[in-house]
């Protein structure tokens, strides 16, 4: 008898035995899916157990009344391999594995630690290797939270969480999902900046893959060293521009790891389907070149064609092994980021998060800000937009905003006229054309080249200022006060990360504009009490609001490329998520605790766009009718699933 049939049988017996003891209900089922050796439970939400579960009646067939009452006493929690969901006891189809005994305890994808039940301890041969008392996910989470919260230091909290990540992925993602607003700043921006700076010193266990300049010629084979067959999302960096911290070489690995944690927790991609990658082409950071603990190649970065060949070899190797994988480029320096994106975007399923993800998120924030001012999305083309920073992020934002204006009926000329882009040498204008990249040249003004930020503000009276310079404190009091003098409700977005690189703080923006600004920042800030005693709630304009949903959408529908329209609809879905009450409180992004739902909405919008434009290879028009439920059913939900032995039968 198959093990799932055995489970069903057990349920029936218990359901009959306990029909008079009404204490709990029992259901069996849950969407299985996904093999690959990892736990791939992609479905069943606690909030809607009936919809996705199979239940059985006294005869073993489907029951008409859908549930049987059972006794918790007959079915003690420490022993059952089901999960109590409110008053339901939920059974999930088991996952089978070739691993046995202690190997399972050391595999973070399978490990449940103290929550392994007696049956599993026997079946998988590790009875006696764990303390006897059996816990569950809820109690384990409670214990972990006590430990994390007792630690005042953010980097120590990060270490505790990453230890859990390395030992028990189910528990780690459960904690992230249930406490996203508390945990995101620990595992991701801003603490991930410090984690990267100290990566080589903090290094304990391998996670992800490194492809170095010394691996040239081996990458097509190396990708097979990764144990998972079904990788769906890769986040790759070359460590050349980690947040606003510059060249951190392989220490930048913290970024792909952090981003992929969000892919799993916020975007519902199962953890065995993600792969963090660093391309180690050397480093030009003098401190790392002589740091005796640095774990990357201590040689100057490859340049020119040698550099691009490493990138190319990696991409071909990855796509050859995992043909449908999404590759997210992250934190490549501006001089390389756009070139790489342009080279692959039409042939490979890929996008650059700093250019396109930041662009889409900022557009969403601006649409939200316009709504807060009582203006429609069409009024985007009436804005005067000052962008401080002409690197990949700045130009990505300009491009996405420009595209949105065209979408709303502006001519290219009218749209371009809305932008004032400045770098460290002042306003970008035609006098510098020869030294500008094609993307920068697109937004160069006819004249006034070299005007400072303050001169631009006083001459052109922008309605918004967006900071992507990685220069902490660049938005001075004088500058912001000038903005507020010319504009009733200036939009102020200091977007650089981590917090030390933010162009101004929330408190400064609020105080210098007498509370009139509409504010969002790349790194999180605490609420600010204004002079009138009212609270101001700064929200975070961070690409984490879109990239997990974009990844979920394109991988589910089997898109072949990530198009500009997909980014636009992602931004629109995010902007529309905001309620009127949130806008009234000055929020232009939703609360982080809703990020899973936001990601689902973003994924739905991306899939709809892919289906309509013939980009979807896996889903068709007929899936459009209940796309929301479909996407929900595919999202990874970290819960413990029974493990059984996979056998190789030899006769």
Ligand X SMILES: O=C([O-])CC(=O)C(=O)O
Catalytic residues, which ones?
Answer: 188, 259
Rounded least distance, CB 386 to ligand X, Å? 20
Rounded least distance, CB 301 to Mg ion, Å? 18
- Long-range contacts: 594-597, Cβ < 8 Å, 24+? 595/180, 595/184, 595/262, 595/266, 595/544, 595/545, 595/548, 596/177, 596/180, 596/265, 596/266, 596/268, 596/635
Rounded least distance, CB 556 to ligand X, Å? 23
Q: Counting contacts by CB under 5 A, is residue 280 touching Mg ion?
A: no
**Of residues 354 and 608, the one with the C-beta less far from Mg ion:** 354
Q: Which of residues 241-270 bind ligand X (CB under 6 A)?
A: 243
568: Cβ contacts below 8 Å, ≥ 6 apart: 360, 363, 400, 403, 404, 407
**Of residues 215 and 331, the one with the C-beta less far from Mg ion:** 331
Rounded least distance, CB 355 to ligand X, Å? 10
Q: What is the Rg, in whole angstroms, of the alpha carbon atoms belonging to the chain?
A: 26
Residue 194 near residue 497 (C-beta atoms within 8 A): no
Q: What does the angle CA 73 – CA 78 – CA 83 come to, to the nearest 5 degrees?
A: 90
Q: Counting contacts by CB under 6 A, is residue 331 touching ligand X?
A: yes
Q: Counting contacts by CB under 5 A, is residue 247 touching Mg ion?
A: no
Distances (CA, A) of 368 to 47, 518, 630: 29, 10, 28
Binding mask 207-246 for ligand X (x = CB under 6 A): ------------------------------------x---
Binding site partner of 490, from Mg ion, ligand X, none, Cβ cut-off 5-8 A by kind: none
- 354 annotated as a binding-site residue: yes
Rounded least distance, CB 288 to ligand X, Å? 19
**Of residues 86 and 246, the one with the C-beta less far from ligand X:** 246
Q: What is the 3-state secondary structure (H, E, C) of 211-263?
A: EEHHHCCCHHHHHHHCCCCCCCEEEEECCCCCCCCCCCHHHHHHHHHHHHHHH
Binding residue for ligand X, selected from 200, 383, 497, 555, defined by CB under 6 A: 497
**Of residues 171 and 257, the one with the C-beta less far from Mg ion:** 257
Return the exposure string of 255-279: e unless at least 16 CB atoms fall within 10 Å of the residue's CB, then b.
bbbbbbbbbbbbbbbbbbbbbbbbb
Count of alpha carbons within 13 angstroms of residue 228, beta-carbon side:
26
Rounded least distance, CB 52 to ligand X, Å? 34
- 229 annotated as a binding-site residue: no
**Of residues 120 and 354, the one with the C-beta less far from ligand X:** 354
Which range binds Mg ion by CB under 5 A, 52-60, 327-335, 431-439, 476-484? 327-335
Whole-number Å distance between alpha carbons of 197 and 541: 23
Q: Which of residues 523-542 bind ligand X (CB under 6 A)?
A: 542
Which range binds Mg ion by CB under 5 A, 37-45, 96-104, 228-236, 350-358? 350-358
Binding site partner of 542, from ligand X, Mg ion, none, Cβ cut-off 5-8 A by kind: ligand X
The DSSP 8-state label assigned to residue 354 in this structure reads I
Counting residues that bind Mg ion (by CB under 5 A) gives 3
Token output for 269:
């991609």
Q: Which of residues 329-348 bind Mg ion (CB under 5 A)?
A: 330-331
Whole-number Å distance between alpha carbons of 540 and 381: 24
Residue 130 near residue 91 (C-beta atoms within 8 A): no
Residue 464 near residue 383 (C-beta atoms within 8 A): yes
Q: Which of 121, 92, 63 is nearest to 4 (CA)?
A: 92
Q: Which of residues 543-562 bind ligand X (CB under 6 A)?
A: 543
Q: Which of residues 353-372 bind Mg ion (CB under 5 A)?
A: 354
Name the residue number minimizing CB distance to ligand X. 189
Q: Counting contacts by CB under 5 A, is residue 67 touching Mg ion?
A: no
Which range binds Mg ion by CB under 5 A, 52-60, 190-198, 324-332, 451-459? 324-332
**Of residues 330 and 582, the one with the C-beta less far from Mg ion:** 330
Binding site partner of 31, from Mg ion, ligand X, none, Cβ cut-off 5-8 A by kind: none
- 285 annotated as a binding-site residue: no
Q: Which of 544, 567, 572 is nearest to 554 (CA)?
A: 567
Whole-number Å distance between alpha carbons of 385 and 427: 12
- 458 annotated as a binding-site residue: no
Q: What is the 3-state secondary structure (H, E, C) of 167-197?
A: HCHHHHHHHHHHCHHHHHHHHCCCHHHHHHH
- 608 annotated as a binding-site residue: no
- Region for 535 from its dihedrals, namely left if φ exceeds 0, alpha if ψ lies in -120 to 50, beta otherwise: beta
- 123 annotated as a binding-site residue: no
Residue 232 near residue 321 (C-beta atoms within 8 A): no
Binding site partner of 463, from Mg ion, ligand X, none, Cβ cut-off 5-8 A by kind: none
Would you call 195 exposed, middle or buried from its count of C-beta atoms within 10 A (0-12, 13-18, 19+)? buried
**Of residues 241 and 301, the one with the C-beta less far from ligand X:** 241
Token output for 339:
């070139």
Binding site partner of 497, from Mg ion, ligand X, none, Cβ cut-off 5-8 A by kind: ligand X
Q: Counting contacts by CB under 5 A, is residue 482 touching Mg ion?
A: no
Q: Which of residues 160-189 bind ligand X (CB under 6 A)?
A: 189
Whole-number Å distance between alpha carbons of 561 and 14: 51
Token output for 453:
């930020």
Strands 68-70, 24-29: pairing kind: antiparallel
Rounded least distance, CB 441 to Mg ion, Å? 24
Rounded least distance, CB 542 to Mg ion, Å? 10
Q: Counting contacts by CB under 6 A, is residue 354 touching ligand X?
A: yes
Helix, strand counts (H, E) of the chain:
27, 21
**Of residues 162 and 354, the one with the C-beta less far from ligand X:** 354
CA dihedral 419, 247, 233, 189 (to 10 degrees): -70
Rounded least distance, CB 126 to ligand X, Å? 39
**Of residues 56 and 327, the one with the C-beta less far from ligand X:** 327
Q: Counting contacts by CB under 6 A, is residue 353 touching ligand X?
A: yes
Q: Which residues are annotated as a binding site for (S)-malate?
A: 241, 497, 542
Q: Which residues are annotated as a binding site?
A: 241, 330-331, 354, 497, 542
Q: Which residues are annotated as a binding site for a divalent metal cation?
A: 330-331, 354
* Binding site residues, ligand X, CB under 6 A: 189, 243, 331, 353-354, 497, 522, 542-543
* Binding site residues, Mg ion, CB under 5 A: 330-331, 354
């Amino acid at each position: 008898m198959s093990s799932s049939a055995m489970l069903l049988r057990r349920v029936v017996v218990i359901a009959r035995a306990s029909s008079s003891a009404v204490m709990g209900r029992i259901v069996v089922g849950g969407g299985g899916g996904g093999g690959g050796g990892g736990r791939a439970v992609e479905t069943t939400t606690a909030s809607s157990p009936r919809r996705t579960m199979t239940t059985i009646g006294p005869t073993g067939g489907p029951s008409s009344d859908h549930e049987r009452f059972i006794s918790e006493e007959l079915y003690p929690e420490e022993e059952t391999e089901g999960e109590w969901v409110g008053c339901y006891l939920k059974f999930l189809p088991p996952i089978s594995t070739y691993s046995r005994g202690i190997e399972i305890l050391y595999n973070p994808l399978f490990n449940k630690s103290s929550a392994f039940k007696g049956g599993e301890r026997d079946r998988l041969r590790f009875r006696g290797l764990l303390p006897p008392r059996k816990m569950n996910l809820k109690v384990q989470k409670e214990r972990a939270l006590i430990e994390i919260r007792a630690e005042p230091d953010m980097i120590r909290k990060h270490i505790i969480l990453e230890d859990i990540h390395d030992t028990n992925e189910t528990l780690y993602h459960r904690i992230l999902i249930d406490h996203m607003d508390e945990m995101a700043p620990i595992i991701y921006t801003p603490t991930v900046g410090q984690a990267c700076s100290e990566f080589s010193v903090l290094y304990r266990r391998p996670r992800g893959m490194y492809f170095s300049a010394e691996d040239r010629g081996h990458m097509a084979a190396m990708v097979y060293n990764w144990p998972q067959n079904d990788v769906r999302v890769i986040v790759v960096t070359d460590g050349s521009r980690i947040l606003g911290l510059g060249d951190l070489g392989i220490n930048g690995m913290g970024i792909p790891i952090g981003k992929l944690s969000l892919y799993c927790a916020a975007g519902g991609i199962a953890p065995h389907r993600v792969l963090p990658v660093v391309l180690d082409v050397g480093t030009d950071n003098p401190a790392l070149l002589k740091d005796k603990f640095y774990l990357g190649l201590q040689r100057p970065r490859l340049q020119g064609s040698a550099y691009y060949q490493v990138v190319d070899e990696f991409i071909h190797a990855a796509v050859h092994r995992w043909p449908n994988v999404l590759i997210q480029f992250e934190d490549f320096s501006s001089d390389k980021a756009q070139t790489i994106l342009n080279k692959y975007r039409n042939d490979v399923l890929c996008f650059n998060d700093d250019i396109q993800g930041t662009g889409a998120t900022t557009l969403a924030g601006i649409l939200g800000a316009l709504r807060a001012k009582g203006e429609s999305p069409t009024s985007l083309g009436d804005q005067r937009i000052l962008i401080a920073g002409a690197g990949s992020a700045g130009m990505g934002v300009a491009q996405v905003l420009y595209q949105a204006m065209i979408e709303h009926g502006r001519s290219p000329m009218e749209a371009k006229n809305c932008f004032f882009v400045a770098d460290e040498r002042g306003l970008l204008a035609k006098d510098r054309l020869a030294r500008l990249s094609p993307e920068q040249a697109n937004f160069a003004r006819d004249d006034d080249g070299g005007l400072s930020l303050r001169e631009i503000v006083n001459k052109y009276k922008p309605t918004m200022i967006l900071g992507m310079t990685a220069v902490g404190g660049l938005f001075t009091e004088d500058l912001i006060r000038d903005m507020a003098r010319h504009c009733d409700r200036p939009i102020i977005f200091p977007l650089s990360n981590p917090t030390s690189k933010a162009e101004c703080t929330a408190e400064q923006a609020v105080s210098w504009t007498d509370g009139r600004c509409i504010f969002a920042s790349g790194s999180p800030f605490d609420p600010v009490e204004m002079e009138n005693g009212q609270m101001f709630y700064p929200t975070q304009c961070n690409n984490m609001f879109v990239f997990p949903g974009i990844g979920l959408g394109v991988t589910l529908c089997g898109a072949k490329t990530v198009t500009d329209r997909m980014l636009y609809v992602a931004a629109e879905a995010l902007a529309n998520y905001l309620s009127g009450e949130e806008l009234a409180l000055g929020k232009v992004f939703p609360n982080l605790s809703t990020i899973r739902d936001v990601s689902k909405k973003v994924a739905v919008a991306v899939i709809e766009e892919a289906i309509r434009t013939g980009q979807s290879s896996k889903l068709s028009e007929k899936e459009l009718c209940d796309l929301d439920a479909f996407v929900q059913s595919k999202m990874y939900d970290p819960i413990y699933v029974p493990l059984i032995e996979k056998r190789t039968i030899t006769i």
